[in-house]
Amino acid sequence: MSKRIVIELTNRCNLACQHCFSGRHGGNDDLSLDLLEKVFGEAKRLGFEHLTFTGGDPTVYRYFAELLAKVAEYNYRFSFVTNGYNFTASHKKILPYLDWLEQITFSLDGATEESHGALRGKHSFRQVIAAMKLAKSLDIPFSNNMVVTRHNYLELRDLAELVYSLGSKGLRFGHLMHSPLTTAKGWDLSLDERQQVEANIWQLQADYAQKLPIAMAPGFSTEQLFPCAPLNMMEVNIDAHGNISKCCHLSSHGPIASQDDVVGNLATMPFSEGVLKLFAANERFKRLKQAYFEKAASQDNKSPCWYCSKHFRKVDWLKQFPENPWFEYLNSVAETK
């Protein structure tokens, strides 16, 4: 796996998905090309070879075409995640840069128009299906993401069959990250339910081994304390404000939550300095987490994204939902300071 930078180009979006963090859409922030070009130059010297663009939605980024030209100029491989709604109108900007494109990931959160639309809005299903068909016709490699919620967790196999039939190169499932909106709607699965979903996904992975690569995003249950790329310095995340953050999930909670996950801003420091600060912060975090789980009395669940969300004080609001199945895990974690 090559070292990569995950860059939230913008927090503007053409959809307002029901399960999206408030910090990831509804804003008006686009990273400047000047800042990104400085990052591209420094990152290359530090061994980074791959760029992944997120949002908001990358296709509404004001400088999308100019960005891709810079990616090619600095000779990076790139990929991006999109809801697909704007793809048929924006895909021609991508065509000159297919030699540098790893893949496009289309978000698809249901196997039917009804289930996908419940999260992403009317007509969104038809738009993303049209985007996938267009990508296939142009030999543009694409994969799919699905966020697993209480409303769609029974559609895993149906979704796998759908994306396979449309030419997808892979399918990745991710757990719903806790937010006040989704919790109020009752979309959170319990830990036991998540583990059953994971078992179903691993079975699906085996069943589709010869047809479609299937995986889970970081956040699934594991005995490994440090399973994710950011903690192992294989991935650096930059949000739409230019902050270097520990991971895209943490930064996506937005400014209303704690900012303890931010190590610095690229407006005031070079990328190389931010990487050094991130490494130091990660090493300290790993020591604290190791010590926490070495305590004999600690029976906390080891879902890694859940632990980090607590550690960096992103889910304090959950104390207002005592009926939620995750409320019982809101015990203290290792000190952040």
Q: Specify the CATH number for the domain of residue 277.
A: 3.20.20.70
Q: Hey, what's the torsion of the CAs at 160, 237, 182, 142, to 10 degrees?
A: -20
Task: Examine residue 301 and state whether it is found in any structural domain, yes or no.
Answer: no
- The model's pLDDT over 26-76, given as tens digits with 9 standing for 90+, comes to 778 899 999 999 999 999 999 999 999 999 999 999 999 999 999 999 999
30 found inside a domain: yes
What does the pLDDT read at residue 301?
64
What would the pLDDT profile of 95-122 be if each residue is shown by its tens digit? Answer: 999 999 999 999 999 999 999 999 999 8
Per-residue pLDDT averaged across 216-241, rounded? 93
pLDDT of residue 332: 65
Return the amino acid letter for 50: H
Q: Given this model, what pLDDT does residue 298 score?
A: 59
pLDDT score recorded for residue 23: 64
Give the pairing type, strands 243-245 and 262-265: antiparallel
Please state the rounded mean pLDDT for residues 174-197: 92
Q: Are strands 142-148 and 171-175 parallel, antiparallel or unpaired?
A: parallel
63 in a domain, yes or no? yes
Contact residues for 61 (Cβ-Cβ < 8 A; gap 6+): 9, 10, 12, 30, 53, 55, 67
Tokens 């937005």, located at residue:
254
Contact 219, 301 (CB under 8 A): no
Domain assignment of residue 233, yes or no: yes
Taking residues 324-331, what's their average pLDDT?
87
Nearest of 233, 318, 276 to residue 48 by alpha carbon: 233
* Residue 84, in any domain of the structure: yes
pLDDT at 226 over 70: yes
What pLDDT sits at residue 297? 53
Residue 307 belongs to a domain = no
Domain count for the chain: 1
Question: 152 is written with which tokens?
Answer: 């769609």
Residue 40's domain spans which residues?
4-281
The confidence score (pLDDT) of residue 96 equals 98
pLDDT > 70? residue 337:
no
Residue 265 is assigned to a structural domain of this protein: yes
* Structural domain contains residue 315: no
